[in-house]
Amino acid sequence: MKSCRRCVISGRVQGVYFRQGTLEQAEKCGVKGWVRNLNNGDVECVICGDNEALEQLMTWLHQGPPSAHVVKMESSDIPWEEHTGFSIRR
């Protein structure tokens, strides 16, 4: 089954290769969507794909790249969005 989730990741998640790492992991998992930095220091992403692939990516998001320190991740189901790939939004 396919679905979309919106995730907000808090902690030391900006300036630590988090968005690029998310892009690479999403492509490995076959997940589509986008990721961006928020003004408050968090990272937000919308991820769409098979539930198993989303779970795999969300496991990575809980840790992030080696130099990140994830304190909290909130996620919620959102209506399906069609994406052609995965991108970093600025």
Give the residue numbers annotated as catalytic, written as ranges: 19, 37
The one-character DSSP state at 61 is H
Amino acid at position 55, single letter:
E
User: β-strands 2-12, 43-50: how paired?
Assistant: antiparallel
Mutual angle of helices 51-63 and 18-29, in 10-degree steps: 160
Q: Across the beta sheet with 43-50, what order do the strands follow?
A: 69-78, 2-12, 43-50, 32-37, 86-89
